[in-house]
Copies of this chain bind each other. A is one copy, B any other.
Amino acid sequence: MRRLEVIGLENLGEVRRGDSIARLILKGCSHNNVALTEGDILVVAHKIVSKSEGRIVRLAEIQPSAHALELSRELNDKDPRLLQIILSESRRIIRKGGGTIIVESHHGFVCANAGVDLSNVGLGMVALLPQDPDRSAREIREEIQKLSGVAIGVIISDSFGRPWRLGTVDVAVGVSGLKPLKDERGRNDRYGYELKASVAAVADELAAAAEPVMGKRGEVPVAIIRGDGVEIKEEDGSVKDLLRPEAEDLFRHF
């Protein structure tokens, strides 16, 4: 029987700049009485990675530019200091309206607010996405392998909105030790039809699978996923494999 399991790690404690997420996870495993096994994929909320990397900004220290102030007037008085940070984290604005700003982040993610987020960081503070989330994932994976001897994969996740559907769904913003896309094109279905569009964004699906267990209040910042359909690779993998090339994108330019 095909079976997949998601296990949340709770009570990992407050994360401070410089903390090792790998050590935190291993300590959390022993607190939570769960052992990592070869082939597990860890989904890690970007928030704790951002904290460990010092990607936290105090709003009171931000001086908004003229552009940020102008955007604020345009976007229902959205905090101009927040907009200033969003602009610094972005290559360009894709779309704006209401109190919403959709940008392309320096990583290439098209998302609201460049992933900049006010929850679970402390009042008056915001968390930026890690500068290079693939590298962050790789560091966690390599350190866990070094400390525990267990080969795992790592997905760093964030909650993204979607254009036509309400609510957020967690997606991968960094990966290491897995292929984010599962390409079944060229295989046949049971009727002999050759699958032509069957590329599943499995890293995004696993990030989404972890969310019901992790929740939004920061109490379960890591989940272990194991079982069928969960596959690690020795090669590193990159979240860039999930980014649709601009030239093929029908919703980037208008």
A-side residues, CB < 8 A to B, are: 1-8, 10, 32-34, 95-98, 100, 102, 109-110, 118-123, 159, 162-171, 180-182, 184, 187, 189-193, 195-202, 204-206, 208-209, 211-213, 215-220, 227-230, 241-244, 248-252, 254
Contacts and interface: CB of A to CB of B under 8 A. Distances in A.
B206 A212 contact: yes
A228 B249 CA distance: 37
A123 B193 contact: yes
A212 B4 contact: yes
Given A4-B6, A166-B241, A167-B182, 19 more contacts: A2-B7, A3-B213, A4-B213, A6-B227, A102-B250, A118-B196, A120-B190, A120-B191, A122-B193, A162-B244, A163-B244, A165-B244, A166-B181, A168-B198, A169-B208, A198-B216, A200-B211, A200-B216, A206-B212
Nearest to A41: B212
Q: How many copies of this chain sit in the oligomeric assembly? A: 2
Contacts of A218: 189-190
> Of residues A96, A97, A182, A213, which shows the largest number of chain B Cβ atoms within 10 Å of its Cβ?
A213
Contacts of A181: 166-167
Chain A residues touching B, majority SS:
loop
Given A201-B166, A242-B165, A216 B191 contact: no
B204 A208 contact: yes
Contacts of A164: 109-110, 243-244, 249, 251-252
A242 B163 CA distance: 11
B228 A119 contact: no
Contact of A213 (B211, B217, B228, B242): B228
Q: Which 4 A-B pairs have the closest CB atoms?
A: A212-B229, A167-B201, A209-B209, A2-B8
A251 B163 contact: yes
Contacts of A251: 95, 163-164, 251
A219 B184 CA distance: 14
A122 B191 contact: yes
Contact of A229 (B98, B204, B213, B242): B213
Contacts of A7: 1-3
Contacts of A121: 191, 193
A220 B2 contact: yes
Task: From A95, A182, A208, name the one whose CB has the most chain B CB atoms within 10 angstroms.
Answer: A208
A202 B166 CA distance: 11
Nearest to A212: B229
